[in-house]
Structure 1
Amino acid sequence: MQSLENPTQRQSGPQFEYGAKELAFLAGKDKRMAEAIERIGMISRPLMPDLFTALVGTIIDQQISTKAGKTVNARLQAMAGAYTPARLEQLTAEQIQACGMSMRKALYIKGVASAAMSGELDLPAIHGYSDQQVIDALCKLPGIGIWTAEMLMIFSLGRPDILSWGDLAIRRGMMNLYRHKTLTRERFERYRRRYSPYGSTASLYLWACSTAPLSASPEPPLLT
């Protein structure tokens, strides 16, 4: 998944769903989050509802630029015709690698396709899993870690309460918003509990805050 680039630009296709209820809850719980919501406005983030396509795209996008990811995805889609387990399992790792990725990524994609074909990865069932069950199921796959699983839960499954400690931009946004120079896991978890059950919506605004410089205001943090 790529980082937030233009939080206010409306994009076509399915979007992560949130609205007045979620914003009112967050604003009522947190003064600085309320100020961020007022300043930034609504944020549009596209969803990729097909979990298998999202998994493959996420593997491709790891540690490369957005432009490079789009190029590799386009090449693989042109070769496969579509991202389906059957079509990708039929390709060799060498054919996948030739689209512009490392052999390790090609093997990860083959592994995901094989798991989906064998039933080891039960894609339809995942939609009914709890958040932790989704993480457990996806992290069994080669090339998928907790952060990736959390991003897939937001941008493929549309889960409402995901706030990722492993996302550096979210932590940076939290530090900017609350004027913290450091952020411990304990403090992060206190914010997570404050935002729950709408952590995913809070994540959108923390991503947007991640590019802002730390405030020079002498006002102390709201949560210490």
Structure 2
Amino acid sequence: MEIFRYSEKETRWLAARDPVLGKAIAKIGPLRREVIPDLFEALARSIVNQQISDKAARTIWGRLETRIGEVTPATVARLEPEDLHGCGMSLRKAGYLQCAARAASEGRLSAEEFAGLPDDEVIRRLTALPGVGVWTAEMLMIFSMQRPDVVSFGDAAIRRGIMRLYGLQTLGRTEFDVYRSRWSPHGSVASFYLWAVAHRKEW
């Protein structure tokens, strides 16, 4: 299992820049977030997981592995949509997964190439794939590519974490961007703590 790489350097920087977030970091302590370095696998899992429970997603992924072994662009591309549907996913998701496999096989889903591109260009290229929206692209940037400065406005838990932490009743895009710029260039680590704040019963 690989973990998102960060250290006290980033958390100290965030605490110095934003004392409110700094108190949350001190209260919560170090966080370990698993990443999937293989970009195709990360995208495939994201597609499978869309709009279903974690338990259902694990079941479908297990069936897929039983059917084809390692889930790679080549093994997925050999299947018909009906074969993927037989693993429990919808035909629409099956189409998304096969499009992702083709993109990876053709070099359009290359983590090495993406590494030299700015975030907005990576988002543009990922969202050109069927079934990949901005939120999915941003999650891939964090949990596969380990990009350091991603705070997603489209993530409801991120917004809820900001509102709980700062005592806000509403949070518009303009105000959100002020917070996000405050945490740059370590926004991804800030995101981890905002998720933690959002999911605690009390704060």
Quickly name the TM-score band, shorter chain normalised: over 0.9
Q: Does 1:86 align with 2:95?
A: no
In structure 2, which of residues 19, 25, 41 is the aligned counterpart of residue 53 of structure 1?
41
Distance 1:120 1:30 in 2: 38
Compute the displacement of 1:122 (Å).
Answer: 3.9
In structure 1, what is the equivalent of residue 120 of structure 2? 132
Structure 1 residue aligned with 2:27: 39
How much does 1:129 deviate? 2.0
Please, which of 22, 42, 62 is the counterpart of residue 10 of structure 2?
Answer: 22
CA apart distance, 1:214: 7.5
Aligned to 2:52: 64
Matched, 1:206 2:200: no
Structural mapping, 1:114-125, within 5 Å: 114-125=102-113
Query: What's the offset of the Cα at 1:168?
Result: 0.3
Q: Is the 8 A contact 2:163 2:169 kept in 1?
A: yes
Q: Deviations over 1:13-47 (max 9, x none)?
A: 21011111100111011121011011100011001
Aligned residues: 203
TM-score under structure 2 normalisation? 0.96
SS class of match (2:35): coil
Tell me if structure 2 keeps the 8 A contact 1:176–1:214: no
Aligned partners of 1:204, 1:122: CA distance in 2, in Å? 25
Q: CA deviation at 1:211?
A: 2.4
Matched AA of 1:87: T
1:183-212 Cα deviation digits (max 9, x unpaired): 011110000000000000000000001124
Runs of 4+ in 1 over 6 A off after TM superposition: none
Alpha carbons 2:40, 2:109 under 8 Å: kept = no
Distance 1:210 1:197 in 2: 22
Q: Deviations over 1:69-88 (max 9, x none)?
A: 11111111121211211110
* Structure 1 unaligned regions, length at least 5: 1-12, 216-224
**1:111–1:142 CA contact under 8 A, matched in 2:** yes
- 1:136 Cα offset (Å): 1.0
Please tell me the residue identity of whatever aligns with 1:29. Answer: R
Distance 2:27 2:40 in 1: 36
1:81-106 CA distances to partner (integer Å, 9 max, x unpaired)? 11211110000000001111111000
Match of 1:74 in 2: 62
Of 129, 133, 144, the residue aligned with 1:141 is 129
Q: TM-score, normalised by structure 1?
A: 0.87
Contact 1:176–1:212 (8 Å) recurs in 2 = no
Deviation at 1:162, TM superposition (A): 0.2
> Would you say the 8 A contact 1:173–1:207 is kept in 2?
yes
RMSD between aligned residues: 1.3
SS in 2 for 1:210: helix
Distance 1:16 1:93 in 2: 33
In the aligned structure 2, how far is the partner of 1:158 from the partner of 1:120?
19
Give the deviation of 1:123 after TM superposition: 4.6
CA distance in 1, matches of 2:184, 2:150: 9
Correspondence for 1:111: 99
